[in-house]
């Protein structure tokens, strides 16, 4: 039974043909036990990249249940931006936990959620100053979707090909980064998908994509409520669009009375060097008071404004500002992009390197001329890196995604890149 399980895990981790050459580090005995229990009881719809079993984490380092230490270039899916178990945030949670954890903010008033909204707004470009508190990425997108329909009283929205906005039915109607995510779930809500500009794959494509977008808006004949857009496409492969496209999209939205909804879920706060990723393109979104005109009862939730989340949120935002994590993301991002671009010049299978701040994608291809995506080589590189103590994630068809905590230091960045370089060179040799 144990052997069978391990073979299955290896296959999950590492779908390559030449198994002997790239064998992932064998999970330790404690990891195997947890995975075996997980396999029996946890719904099989979730897709794990690694047989890594978390025990604890501190800053940019994570430890598995067998005591192995890894440098974390995933931030647990671009989430642990102030570093794992940040003491300032942990203290804020502990302090609040001793007072009150939940207040049903949809039905009652409380000061902490208001303070969180005020703190958040102090980071946003003005006049963006109304907040709805939700519990997850997909729930935020559902809220934006419903608000757009409420405010405009229109039925359609436009989203992009390869977009990822979440997995509940409204956001899933916009998501189309992987076929399995949509398979068997139609009918969807009325969404038109248009191409997202990918300079590596499509060259100088801003005008072409803008014209497709304009065509879609016109064809919806005044019935388009919103355009949903990731300022940097995340799950789709960390694709950075040309600035001219984003500005053009903003212009088209204004011209057609369409709301521009920026999905900043993956870019998070300061990951791209600016508080909002959209700010890199000189474009504004987020609901102003004028747009947030829905009435009491038209939307809500039970856990939004949860007091532990608000205490953590206030501490996180203040910590980010105090430690200038945006500057750190910009500085280290530039350094990492420079080094990865040098590596790209040396290594045939690195087709493209791109990113903003600490949101970096490395596209792995069969060779530079064909640009054919090479998912198996990508998996082998991820596997090799994990074996050497670096956690990375995939994105898109064959992209390695780099999204470490924003507290990363220069020496940690260099160390992680040393491991990644080794893993790429190993394949290259």
Ligand X SMILES: Cc1ncc(COP(=O)(O)O)c(C=O)c1O
Least separation in angstroms between residue 91's CB and ligand X is: 25
Asked if 145 interacts with ligand X (CB under 6 A), we say no
Q: What are the strands of the beta sheet with 69-72, ordered from one edge?
A: 54-58, 61-64, 69-72, 390-391
Question: What Cα–Cα distance (Å) separates residue 248 from each residue in 251, 282, 308, 352?
Answer: 5, 11, 40, 25
Asked if 285 interacts with ligand X (CB under 6 A), we say no
Asked if 263 interacts with ligand X (CB under 6 A), we say yes
Handedness of CA 275, 277, 282, 288 (dihedral sign): negative
Beta-bridge partner residues of 365:
373
Q: Given the complex with ligand X, which of 62 and 265 has the nearer CB atom?
A: 265
Stretch that binds ligand X, among 135-143, 339-347, 352-360, 363-371 (CB under 6 A): 135-143
Asked if 142 interacts with ligand X (CB under 6 A), we say no
Please answer whether residues 28 and 50 qualify as being in contact, where contact means their C-beta atoms are separated by less than 8 angstroms: no
Which residue, among 363, 323, 343, 23, has the nearest Cα to 198 in the 3D structure? 363
The Cβ-side half-sphere exposure at 335, using a 13 Å CA radius, reads: 16
Asked if 234 interacts with ligand X (CB under 6 A), we say yes
With CB under 6 A as the contact rule, the residue among 27, 166, 241, 355 that binds ligand X is 166
Q: Given the complex with ligand X, which of 15 and 135 has the nearer CB atom?
A: 135
Asked if 268 interacts with ligand X (CB under 6 A), we say no
Asked if 164 interacts with ligand X (CB under 6 A), we say yes
Asked if 271 interacts with ligand X (CB under 6 A), we say no
Nearest residue (beta carbon) to ligand X: 137
Which residue, among 173, 166, 160, 326, has the nearest Cα to 245 in the 3D structure? 160
Asked if 235 interacts with ligand X (CB under 6 A), we say yes
Least separation in angstroms between residue 136's CB and ligand X is: 4
Least separation in angstroms between residue 235's CB and ligand X is: 5
Crossing angle of helices 325-346 and 307-322, rounded to 10°: 70
Which residue, among 185, 195, 203, 187, has the nearest Cα to 236 in the 3D structure? 195
Stretch that binds ligand X, among 187-195, 258-266, 303-311, 360-368 (CB under 6 A): 258-266
Per rule CB under 6 A, count of chain residues that contact ligand X: 13
Rg of the chain in Å (alpha carbons):
22
Q: Is 208 exposed, middle or buried (0-12, 13-18, 19+ CB in 10 A)?
A: middle
Q: Where are the beta strands (DSSP E) in 202-329?
A: 224-229, 259-262
With CB under 6 A as the contact rule, the residue among 31, 51, 198, 266 that binds ligand X is 266
Stretch that binds ligand X, among 104-112, 188-196, 261-269, 386-394 (CB under 6 A): 261-269
> Which two tokens mark 55?
């025990």
Give the Cα separation of 298 and 286 in Å (integer).
Answer: 19
Give the Cα separation of 189 and 191 in Å (integer).
Answer: 6
Stretch that binds ligand X, among 136-144, 192-200, 325-333, 371-379 (CB under 6 A): 136-144
Cα angle for residues 423, 383, 235 (degrees, 5° grid): 100
Least separation in angstroms between residue 1's CB and ligand X is: 33
Stretch that binds ligand X, among 54-62, 134-142, 147-155, 300-308 (CB under 6 A): 134-142
Asked if 397 interacts with ligand X (CB under 6 A), we say no
Helix (H, G, I), strand (E, B) or coil at 63: strand
With CB under 6 A as the contact rule, the residue among 265, 315, 413, 417 that binds ligand X is 265
Asked if 230 interacts with ligand X (CB under 6 A), we say yes
Asked if 81 interacts with ligand X (CB under 6 A), we say no
Give the Cα separation of 427 and 22 in Å (integer).
Answer: 9
Asked if 138 interacts with ligand X (CB under 6 A), we say yes
Stretch that binds ligand X, among 121-129, 130-138, 294-302, 411-419 (CB under 6 A): 130-138
Least separation in angstroms between residue 236's CB and ligand X is: 9
Which residue, among 296, 301, 228, 290, has the nearest Cα to 263 in the 3D structure? 228
Asked if 352 interacts with ligand X (CB under 6 A), we say no
Asked if 141 interacts with ligand X (CB under 6 A), we say yes
The answer, yes or no, to whether the previous bond of 127 is cis (omega within 30 of 0) is: yes
Stretch that binds ligand X, among 50-58, 178-186, 230-238, 360-368 (CB under 6 A): 230-238
The answer, yes or no, to whether the previous bond of 187 is cis (omega within 30 of 0) is: yes
Stretch that binds ligand X, among 160-168, 198-206, 276-284, 327-335 (CB under 6 A): 160-168
Least separation in angstroms between residue 139's CB and ligand X is: 7
Q: Given the complex with ligand X, which of 265 and 350 has the nearer CB atom?
A: 265
> Where does this chain bind ligand X (CB under 6 A)?
136-138, 141, 164-166, 230, 234-235, 263, 265-266
């Amino acid at each position: 039974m144990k052997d069978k399980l391990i073979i299955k895990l290896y296959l999950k981790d590492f779908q390559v043909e030449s198994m002997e050459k790239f064998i992932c580090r064998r999970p330790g005995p404690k990891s195997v036990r947890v995975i075996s229990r997980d396999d029996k009881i946890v719904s099989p719809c979730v897709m794990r990249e690694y047989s890594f079993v978390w025990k604890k984490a501190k800053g940019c380092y994570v430890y598995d249940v067998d005591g192995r230490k890894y440098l974390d270039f995933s931030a647990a899916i671009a989430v642990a931006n102030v570093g794992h178990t940040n003491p300032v945030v942990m203290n804020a949670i502990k302090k609040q936990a001793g007072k009150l954890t939940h207040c049903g903010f949809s039905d009652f008033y409380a000061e902490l959620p208001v303070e969180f909204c005020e703190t958040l707004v102090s980071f946003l470009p003005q006049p963006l100053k109304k907040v709805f508190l939700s519990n997850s990425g997909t729930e935020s997108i559902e809220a934006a979707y419903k608000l757009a329909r409420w405010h405009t009283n229109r039925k359609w929205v436009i989203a992009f090909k390869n977009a990822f906005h979440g997995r509940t039915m409204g956001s899933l109607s916009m998501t189309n980064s992987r076929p399995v995510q949509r398979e068997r779930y139609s009918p969807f809500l009325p969404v038109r998908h248009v191409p997202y500009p990918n300079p590596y794959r499509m060259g100088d494509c801003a005008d072409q994509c803008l014209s497709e977008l304009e065509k879609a808006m016109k064809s919806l004949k005044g019935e388009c409520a919103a355009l949903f857009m990731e300022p940097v496409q995340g799950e789709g492969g960390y694709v950075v669009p040309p600035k001219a496209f984003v500005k053009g999209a903003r212009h088209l939205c204004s011209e057609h009375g369409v709301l521009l909804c920026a999905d900043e879920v993956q870019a998070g706060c300061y990951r791209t060097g600016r508080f909002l990723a959209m700010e890199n393109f000189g474009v504004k979104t987020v609901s102003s008071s004028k747009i947030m005109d829905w009435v009491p009862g038209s939307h809500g939730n039970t856990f939004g404004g949860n007091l532990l989340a608000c205490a953590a949120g206030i501490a996180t935002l203040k910590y980010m500002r105090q430690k200038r994590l945006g500057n750190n993301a910009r500085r280290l991002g530039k350094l990492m992009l420079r080094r990865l671009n040098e590596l790209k010049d040396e290594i045939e299978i690195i087709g493209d390197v791109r990113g903003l701040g600490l949101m970096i994608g490395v596209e792995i291809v069969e060779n530079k001329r064909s640009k054919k995506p090479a998912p198996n080589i990508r998996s082998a590189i991820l596997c090799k890196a994990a074996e050497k103590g670096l956690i990375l994630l995939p994105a898109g068809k064959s992209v390695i995604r780099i999204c470490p905590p924003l507290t990363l230091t220069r020496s940690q960045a260099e160390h992680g890149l040393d491991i990644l370089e080794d893993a790429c060179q190993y394949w290259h040799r």
